[in-house]
Amino acid sequence: MAKLTDFFRLGIRKEWIDALQANGITEPTPIQEKAIPALLAGKDVISQAQTGTGKTLAFVLPILEKADPDSNDVQALVLTPTRELALQITAEVKKLTAATDDLHVLAVYGGQDVDRQLRKLAGKKQVVIATPGRLLDHMRRGTIDLSTVSMFVLDEADQMLHMGFLPEVEDIAASLPDKRQTMLFSATMTPQVRALAQRFMQNPEDIRVQGKRITLANIRQIAVETTDRAKQSALRTLIDEERPFLAVIFCRTKRRASTLNAALQGFGYLSDELHGDLSQAKREDVMKRFREARIQLLVATDVAARGLDVEGVTHVFNYDIPEDVDSYIHRIGRTGRAKEKGIAYTMVAAKDRAQLAEIEKGIAMTLERRASERAADYGENEEHKQHKTKHKGQERAGRGGQRGGKPARTEGEHRGSKPARAEGEHRGSRPARAEGEHRGSRPARAEGEHRGSRPARAEGGQRGGKPLKAEGKQQAGKGKRETGKRGQHGADRQQQTARLAPKNGDDQRTQERMTKTGQSSERAAGRSDFAGKSANASRKPGAFSHKRAEKQHGGSARFDGQKQTGKRPSPAPAKRGSTARRTKKR
């Protein structure tokens, strides 16, 4: 009871103290002891405190104390970066106001039915807890009036700026009354957060607590040395060994969280995922099943699990190492809450050792080391390989420099088994050719010798190597050919030629026809020459003329050639059209 009087000493009424006791809260935390009196006095407060230090009650209790239950207007506005955090704060307020019907709290966030929110906004709503995007939408619709707000809270301000909500926060703050109380809570106090506080706060009281020590006091922290390939297997081994009641597994990206959750479900684990790509209905369903312990493993990203407060979380697994010290503290702060014990495992690969050193430096302590079985097997295999390589080297040295049983090569000796070539020796196995020798394997031909392999025939000799027949024998053979079969074919050809030969009358008629054709061709050529001269006269000096070249060379080469060969000449094409007529008239 002495501890409950501490809340009374801070200025909290008995009805709220009874509600705290009904929810198992009996003692104020350091952030509550410092922030509640200042807020009840009406001062602006900027507070740096980690999650899990009780900062939610640090601003919720003063709001409930100062709110007017008789008024239906919005008196307190709390902005949060995520929907889950808005729902979580709403649930905390509803726990404390369950015994009274005078104060009403409303959560306004994206992904929810707009018509349903409009009906709730029409009723009593002394406290509104919202995300920036959906609240700004209602302000533009004119469905919410913030002109009566007297208390304004920015929770997780650093994360809100990190997610790019600064323009929305500025628009919302500009629509609030100038005379108001502003409270800013942040896990880290960056220059951007400081600049935001200076713009919207008046002489704020700076409150800081050693949240790191408070958060880490009841959490056993272990670094599991593994490899990227064996990380998933090592995680399953830890889950099987520890058997957590509820556990949160943190991944760096949405894709990695989805992939890991699918793998765990494939192995039969009761798990689900939580990240920004899920719809609001899906996220609410996942959180409801996790709080009811219908699923034991929650695979989440940093943003989705920001400020997540679930009772009964016994283990936290950092599947991907956090980027900085603050993210590490935020992650492991999901367990060990309300003075309960918790265990946090961090999977560390070889490339993550530098980040682990920074985290250990930031929390001023060294994490307990543990090697996974797969990583240990991998290390043993590497050690065995190194030992085997070293043993082989010693054996080679003992054999006098031999390599694999073969004698070592001497200096200058080549790797292959063939001896080195002498100076001037060619690469192939054939000996070099002598001067003047040809490339082929055949010897050079003597002077006057033919290309073939047969020897030259002697003068008067026969080609086939047989002796030349005598003159009488040759004449006899000629007579046989004439009277034989071959001779008969020759006679037939002569008779056919005689039949086809023109007679005397035919020769005369043929000559006359050729003469007439030649005269006609000459006349046509004359006309063509005359037309060519006229055409050349109209051209510019120096222009090329085919007809002029023919005249210089003694007429048409084509006609002369046809006339000499005795063939029927083809008449030269005469020009047609108006050009030829105009030339003839001139």
Q: Which 3-state string (H, E, C) describes 363-427?
A: HCCCCEEEECHHHHHHHHHHHHHHHHHHHHHHHHHHCCCCECCECCCCCCCCCCCCCCCCCCCCC
pLDDT recorded at residue 357:
92
> pTM value?
0.54
**Which pLDDT band, with edges at 50, 70 and 90, does 438 fall under?**
low
> Using one digit for the tens of pLDDT, what is the confidence trace for 4-20?
568 888 889 888 998 88
**Which pLDDT band, with edges at 50, 70 and 90, does 214 fall under?**
very low
Q: Which amino acid belongs to residue 180? A: R
CB burial class (10 A; 0-12, 13-18, 19+) of residue 562?
Answer: middle
* Distant-in-sequence, close-in-space partners of 46: CB < 8 Å, separation ≥ 6: 183, 184, 186, 197, 201, 204, 205, 206, 207
List residues bridging with 274 in a β-sheet.
300
pLDDT top residue among 269 and 7: 269
Closest CA to 387 of 379, 397, 375: 379
What is d(CA 312, CA 336) in angstroms, rounded to the nearest whole number?
A: 9
Count H helices and E strands in the chain, helices first: 23, 14
What is d(CA 6, CA 27) in angstroms, rounded to the nearest whole number?
A: 7
Whether residue 220 contacts residue 213, with contact meaning beta carbons closer than 8 Å, is answered with: no
**Which pLDDT band, with edges at 50, 70 and 90, does 120 fall under?**
confident
pLDDT top residue among 509 and 328: 328
Q: How many other C-beta atoms are found inside a 10 Å radius of the C-beta of residue 326? A: 17
User: In what helix (H) or strand (E) does residue 254 lie, and over which residues does it extend?
Assistant: helix 254-266
pLDDT recorded at residue 363:
85
Whether residue 299 contacts residue 251, with contact meaning beta carbons closer than 8 Å, is answered with: yes
pLDDT recorded at residue 515:
56
Q: Is the pLDDT of residue 535 over 50?
A: no
**Which pLDDT band, with edges at 50, 70 and 90, does 284 fall under?**
confident
> Using one digit for the tens of pLDDT, what is the confidence trace for 130-144?
999 889 988 998 888
Question: What's the length of the chain?
Answer: 586
Q: Which domains does the chain have, with CATH numbers?
A: 4-209 (3.40.50.300), 213-377 (3.40.50.300)
> Using one digit for the tens of pLDDT, what is the confidence trace for 315-337?
999 999 998 887 888 888 888 87
User: In what helix (H) or strand (E) does residue 208 lie, and over which residues does it extend?
Assistant: strand 205-208
Of these ranges, 58-72, 258-272, 299-313, the one predicted with the greatest mean pLDDT is: 258-272
Give, in order, the Cα–Cα distances in Å from 205 to each of 43, 79, 194: 7, 20, 13
**Which pLDDT band, with edges at 50, 70 and 90, does 538 fall under?**
very low
> Using one digit for the tens of pLDDT, what is the confidence trace for 372-405?
765 545 444 445 455 555 555 555 555 544 444 4
**DSSP 3-state assignment of 318?**
strand
Q: Is the pLDDT of residue 476 over 50?
A: no
Give the least confident one: 114-123, 155-164, 504-513: 504-513
Write down the mean pLDDT value for the chain: 74
pLDDT recorded at residue 8:
85
**Which pLDDT band, with edges at 50, 70 and 90, does 479 fall under?**
very low
pLDDT top residue among 444 and 280: 280
Give, in order, the Cα–Cα distances in Å from 394 to each of 388, 401, 405: 10, 10, 13
pLDDT recorded at residue 483:
47
Of these ranges, 50-59, 178-187, 325-334, 403-412, the one predicted with the greatest mean pLDDT is: 178-187
pLDDT top residue among 102 and 418: 102
What is d(CA 197, CA 538) in angstroms, rounded to the nearest whole number?
A: 96
Q: How close are the terminal C-alpha atoms of the chain, in Å? A: 139
What is d(CA 227, CA 353) in angstroms, rounded to the nearest whole number?
A: 12
Whether residue 187 contacts residue 156, with contact meaning beta carbons closer than 8 Å, is answered with: yes
Whether residue 445 contacts residue 451, with contact meaning beta carbons closer than 8 Å, is answered with: yes
CB burial class (10 A; 0-12, 13-18, 19+) of residue 228?
Answer: exposed
Give, in order, the Cα–Cα distances in Å from 208 to each of 8, 71, 164, 187: 22, 34, 25, 10
Q: Is the pLDDT of residue 468 over 80?
A: no
